[in-house]
Structure formats: structure tokens, C-alpha cells
Amino acid sequence: MNFENNLAFAKVQDDADSLKRFRGEFLFPNQNGKQFIYLCGNSLGLQPKKAHQVLKQQLANWENYAVEGWFEGNSPWMFYHKEVKKLMAPLVGALPAEVCPMNTLTVNLHLLMVSFYQPKGKRFKIIMEGNAFPSDQYAIESQVRFYGYEPKDAIIEIFPRAGEEILRTEDIIAKIKENADEIALIMFGGINYYTGQWYDMKAITEAGHEIGAIVGFDLAHAAGNVPMQLHDWNIDFACWCSYKYQNSGPGGISGIFIHEKHFNNTELHRFAGWWGYQENQRFKMEKGFVPEPGADGWQISCTQVMPMALYHASLQIFENAGFIEPLRNKSISLTSYLQFIINEINKGLEFEQYKIITPKDPKERGAQLSIIAKDKGKEIFDALVAHHILGDWREPDVIRLSPVPLYNSFEDIYLTGQVLLKVSKDLLK
């Protein structure tokens, strides 16, 4: 597509957008009577209008049925997660039995590592991307310490080459092979939160399995953002939050994936709880944990009904949109247009004030561009917010902008570019 830096072009693209109706399914922040251009869905997705309805319904169920709501009403709480699983699975390329909504992301990461990080002898190391999101770093540090290892000895971090921002797939695979006899677990993010790089998950998994390691992913920035085939790629396990691209609300319920090949593996450790016990025998209250088959057997606590209802509301929008593939096509167009607009701004400033560190190839990124502001970055970011454009600031010098295909438009991007050029000229005099 030949992009143009004008409003007429943006409006033509939006008029032709087959997904444009879904923008009306969301509520945008509004201050002083002016609606924000919202480009921060990679941190917290917008509220679906249906959220009020689903919460009202569940509050009515609580009011009318009280404890009997677990078994009465149109969606009894005891089985509600099964409705959600059917809609989660297509978003990550899984079987419904392989996914389950439960807990929050880092809690699930710990629970899954209990099962899938089993150091033995010289095979005790975990390999991960350098500068992963802090929750992953802290979780992995504490897991290796739990087994008596020091993080400096047990964790291998892979960083980009000197002068580069992006990890090369060949370097990841080379590092895996280099430490083949010592790696117990490969634990990567699907998409790096800072750079927006989408790692080659299939290639990483294949390399890990070739050396006999378990491979898992934190999909916080990938689930609901990019198309994945967790089952077909033979990934062992994964977990994600749902409040970013899946719009389930702040602190929304998390999801897990466990490949079906592990369902009957009795050698896996797990922290057990009542809700993961075999469903048809659960209320016999007997000793001796017998897990429910599939990912549901990793549940610990009762279904979180209200957070799950919010997640369900958003997942139904994904279903109506055709799940991830149509959204992915629009996402590539939006980020490509944003990339074009940033380059146009640099031309207007007559110097490279903004450097995009997210991969240029759309196949290596999701719905996010991370942009280094070389001078007065925080002031420029604050000026954008003052002009009702909300992205995300990351120290020391990165502005993250994330056009989400469910609710962002080409016009959003064009107008953001116009404001960014203006505030840049004003502040960089």
C-alpha cells in the first residue's frame, strides 16, 4: 500500500475497514468533554460496553440465587469457565481442553513452573530473553532459589548484539545449542514488552525440544494480539494476562495453556487445590488429589466469576470479529501506517528525532511500535497526553504506541502524527 500523510487518505482507509463497527463496542476515556485517542492497549485494553451488562447479570444471579448460583441460572458458575475456554482456545491456537481461565499471570507462571521446571543433575538452567518484564525476572529468580541455586548460575539471559535492539533468532538458537546439556527450561516472552519484538516461538520450541528441554512462554503481549498455534507448535505450556489486548479490565483473570501431551504425565509436580480435583467427584470431599483431565486440573481456587464475566464479554467481541486472523491483517496495516507517519515526522523535523526499535518486518511484531525519542522524550510524551493522546512511556527514552485493530483507526494514527510533529517542533526549538 502506498501511504499518504493526509486526513483524506486515513478516512478512505477507515471507510473501507470491514472491522470498523467494532470501535463502537468500546468506551474511550474522556476528559473535559474531549475523547482521547487511545494507543495504550498494550498496557490496558479499553472497556467493552458490554462489561456493564455482564456484571449486572452476574450481580443479579448473586442476588437472586445466592449460593445456588453455582448450579442455577442460565450460566451456572460451576461450569462457567467452560464457555470461556471455547473462546480462548482459537485466540492462541489450542484445543479447549488445553486452556483454562484462572488466577493472575504471575501466579500462573509460578504454578506452571512448579510442574515444568524440574532441575536434575547438571540440567538445571533456565534460558530467557534479557530485559524480560520484571515479573518474569522475579518469578524465575525465586524459582531457581527455591531449588537452592543462585540466579547468576542458573539463569542464562540472551541479549541483542552490540549496537542492536532486536534479538536475532539464530543467536537464540545458538545459545540454546551452546548450553544443550545444562538447560532444563526455556522460558521466553512471546512478544517483548519493551521493543515489541515477536519472537519466533515455533523455532525456539523446536530448538528447545531438540536438546531435551521444556519450553514455555509468557504471552502477556501476544495473546489476543498475534496469531499463534500453541498446539501445533508443540509448545509445552504458556500463560497470559487478559487485560491488555483482550480487554478484561485491570487485573483481569489470566489464562493458561498446557499441551495435551502432558495431561497424563504423572511425573509432573503440581500444587493442587479443590477446584482442580476431578469435577464429577469434587463434592465427595475425599482425600487424595485426582486431577480433572486437561488444563482444568491445574486450577486451585474457585472460579473468579466477576473477572471471568468481563473476560467473556470481550471474547465474544473477538468471536464476532472472526477471532485473530482478520484483526491481524488490520493490525499490520495500522502499524505500517504508524511507521510511515513517524518517518514523515522525522522528515518534517529535518533530523531523526524518533527511532523505531520495533522490527520493521510486520511478521516480527504485533500491534505496537516502540519509539526512542532522542531529545526531551518525557516532555513530548506529556505534551501528547495534554493533547488527549494516550500512549505509554518507558524509561529512559521510549514512547510505546499501540494501535489496536478492534478499536483504533487510521484517522487516530494520522491525528497522532500531526500532534506529535507540532509538539516536537515546539519543544525542540
CATH of the domain at 383: 3.90.1150.10
Q: What is the pLDDT of residue 323?
A: 96
Q: Which residues pair with 256 in a beta bridge?
A: 100, 239
Q: How many residues does the chain have?
A: 429
Is 176 inside any structural domain?
yes
Total domain count for the chain?
A: 2
> End of a domain among 321, 354, 373?
321
- Asked if 276 and 384 sit in the same domain, the reply is no
Q: What is the pLDDT of residue 226?
A: 98
d(CA 148, CA 151): 10
- Asked if 269 and 370 sit in the same domain, the reply is no
Averages of pLDDT over runs of 10 residues in the chain (429 residues) are: 95 98 98 95 98 96 97 94 97 98 97 97 97 95 98 98 97 98 98 98 98 98 98 98 98 98 94 95 93 96 96 98 97 98 96 97 97 97 98 97 98 98 94
- Asked if 312 and 209 sit in the same domain, the reply is yes
> End of a domain among 283, 302, 321?
321
Q: What is the pLDDT of residue 1?
A: 80
Question: For residue 214, what is the domain's CATH number?
Answer: 3.40.640.10
- Asked if 62 and 135 sit in the same domain, the reply is yes
Q: Is 316 helix (H, G, I), strand (E, B) or coil?
A: helix
- Asked if 317 and 360 sit in the same domain, the reply is no
Predicted TM-score (pTM) of the model is 0.96
Is 153 inside any structural domain?
yes
DSSP 8-class letter at 230: T
Is 2 inside any structural domain?
no
Q: What is the pLDDT of residue 385?
A: 97
d(CA 263, CA 269): 12
- Asked if 191 and 229 sit in the same domain, the reply is yes
- Asked if 100 and 140 sit in the same domain, the reply is yes
Pull the grid cell for residue 357.
526499535
Is 109 inside any structural domain?
yes
- Asked if 174 and 274 sit in the same domain, the reply is yes
Is 279 inside any structural domain?
yes
Is 44 inside any structural domain?
no
Q: Would you say 93 and 228 are in contact if contact means Cβ atoms under 8 Å apart? A: yes
- Asked if 151 and 283 sit in the same domain, the reply is yes
Q: What is the pLDDT of residue 429?
A: 82
DSSP 8-class letter at 29: P
Is 40 inside any structural domain?
no
Q: What is the pLDDT of residue 96?
A: 98
- Asked if 305 and 353 sit in the same domain, the reply is no
d(CA 262, CA 281): 22
Cis ω before 396 (30° cut-off from 0): yes
Q: What is the pLDDT of residue 359?
A: 98
> End of a domain among 269, 290, 321?
321
Query: Residue 306: which domain range?
Result: 54-321
Strands 26-27 and 37-38: unpaired
- Asked if 286 and 340 sit in the same domain, the reply is no
Is 1 inside any structural domain?
no
Cβ count within 10 A of residue 300: 16
- Asked if 78 and 64 sit in the same domain, the reply is yes
The identity of residue 335, as a single letter, is: T
